[in-house]
Amino acid sequence: MLLQRELEALQLWDRRLCVAMNRALRFGAALRLLRAVSWLGDGILWYALMLGLLVKHGQAATLPVLHMVFVGVVCTATYKMVKRGTVRPRPFESLEAVAAGARPLDSFSFPSGHTLHAVGFSIVAIVHYPGLAALLVPFTLLTAASRVALGLHYPSDVLAGAAIGAAIAAASLWI
């Protein structure tokens, strides 16, 4: 009974925070910024980063870029497998108070693939190029926030995506 009450409290927190962030950032410049971050997080920033590393560092960037590609492939496979198993509806589909701020790339909410990839790619990139932290950490945090504020994910989806992305990156570094 205690576990059920704790889970209900967590779900209530998840819904309330999602609604609050969506309402607060639904209009104006904040919405445009978060849409742009989300669009870049579709893969554009990560592909551009890998290309930029190859152009700037040449052959020395080959292994770091291949590492990022490997992590990206594992993240994508993991994300698709988990999404198919959970089929959680998106907040804008489940909560009347939440408006969709962007079009989703797929049908389900759990976990946040954008956050999963942002965390995974950022960890690997920063390990190889620590100077990128000043760019990638804020971008990753904005990506996570954008997914909730745009009504596409619950905070728990984002936290799960971050944990999975970090676990995949950590495992890739350990290997």
Q: Does domain 2-174 have CATH number 1.20.144.10?
A: yes
Q: Residue 7 corresponds to which tokens in the numbers above?
A: 């889970």
Count Cβ atoms within 10 A of the Cβ of residue 43 and give its class: 0-12 exposed, 13-18 middle, 19 or more buried: middle
Q: Considering only 87-96, 98-107, 150-159, which range has the smallest mean pLDDT?
A: 98-107
The pTM of the full predicted model, rounded to 2 decimals, is 0.91
Q: Flag whether pLDDT at 25 surpasses 80.
A: no
Which residue did the predictor score with more confidence, 15 or 165? 165
pLDDT at 103: 84
How much is the average pLDDT of 132-152? 95
Q: Flag whether pLDDT at 51 surpasses 90.
A: yes
Q: How much is the mean pLDDT over the chain?
A: 91
Do 90 and 151 touch, CB atoms closer than 8 A? yes
